[in-house]
Amino acid sequence: MTGTLPVALTLVFFLSTHGASGSYPRAQNVTWKSTNFKTILSWEPKPSADYSYTVEFSASGGNKQRNLHCTRSSFTTCDLSTYLTDLKAHYTADVLSEPPIDATSDLIEFPHTSSPRFCPYEDTDIGKPDFKLKVSEDKKKTTLYVTDPLTALFKDGQQLNIRDIFSEQLQYRVTYRRNKSTGKKVYTSKTNEIELSDLDRGESYCFNVQAYIPSRHTDKQLGEMSQTQCSNDDNASIFKVYSISVIACAIFLILLLIGIVVAVTVVCCKRKRKSQHEKDGLPLDVI
């Protein structure tokens, strides 16, 4: 009986240590989030003090790699922007649940969760572009000057924009409408300088621009819509600029002001006449 006690204690210790090392929870909801080639791998949940996460990634058919900032880490994100160097390759990543950085484990293979496949060239979202608006002096042509969004990538010390990467594949789609109208038109351009000449002369128009890459899958062809910019309407009538209620209120205030001016003028004239008659000692005229 006494000889079995040390064996039992040893067994309990063995099971407890191996049970602890095998109890690391797997990562959940492993996803890629990428805009303008700023690519972040994210997952859940935030780890406790008993374990950490390590990210391994590889291109299809390639060797697994690690980002030192994402090894035995307590974070639930990993920036892989500069590590996915072949932009047209398809990558997968594994998030491993491991002991904390100063701890050890007897496990040979740690629990892990794999990500979906990700291709930077095909899957990164394109952010909204900026553009400037210019109307020609004769009001017959409106030109949009679009600035290519910058990416998170660099080459020879220079930050790349999306045209540096997509080249002739990059186009811009303009959505425009007459100001205060719901009807829309669409125009696609292969250049950053976009001329629109089918607009009604003297009318105000509103414009939005977004990147368009027709070679991609349908759900990834269009980038984020830019902020809306509207041209000035130099020939707009007062009824287009202001509502009927505003115009009516303005007319009422003008008439009221005229009435006040007339009333004040009449009162001042009466007082002046009264003062003059009193000064001359003459009776006031009866009106």
Instruction: Quote the pLDDT of residue 189.
Output: 97
Residue 76: count other Cβ atoms within 10 Å of its Cβ.
Answer: 18
Instruction: Quote the pLDDT of residue 14.
Output: 36
Instruction: Quote the pLDDT of residue 142.
Output: 94
The least confident of 111-125, 165-179, 257-271 is 257-271
Instruction: Quote the pLDDT of residue 106.
Output: 76
Q: How many CA atoms lie within 13 A of 242 on its CB side?
A: 9
Better-scored residue on pLDDT, 15 or 218: 218
Instruction: Quote the pLDDT of residue 264.
Output: 86
pTM for the full model? Answer: 0.72
**DSSP notation for 214-279:** TTS-GGGSB-PPPPPEE---TT--HHHHS-HHHHHHHHHHHHHHHHHHHHHHHHHHHHHHHHHHHH
Q: What is the mean pLDDT of the chain?
A: 86
Q: What is the pLDDT of residues 64-98, one digit of tens each?
A: 999 999 999 999 999 999 999 999 999 999 999 99
Give the separation between CA 67 and CA 91, rounded to whole angstroms.
14
Give the separation between CA 148 and CA 58, rounded to whole angstroms.
30
Decide if pLDDT at 243 tops 80.
no
Domains parsed from the chain with CATH numbers: 23-123 (2.60.40.10), 130-240 (2.60.40.10)
Instruction: Quote the pLDDT of residue 161.
Output: 98
* pLDDT (average), residues 269-283: 67
Better-scored residue on pLDDT, 91 or 1: 91
Q: What is the pLDDT of residues 50-60, one digit of tens each?
A: 999 999 999 99
Give the separation between CA 211 and CA 217, rounded to whole angstroms.
14
- Residue 108 has which token pair? 């040979």
Better-scored residue on pLDDT, 277 or 264: 264
Distance (Å) of CA 125 to CA 61, 78, 100, 222, 229: 25, 18, 34, 8, 23
Eight-class DSSP state of 70 = G
Strands of the chain (E only): list them.
28-35, 38-44, 52-59, 65-66, 77-79, 91-98, 112-114, 130-135, 142-147, 150-155, 158-161, 171-178, 185-189, 193-196, 205-212, 229-230
* pLDDT (average), residues 115-133: 98
CB 204 within 8 A of CB 239: no
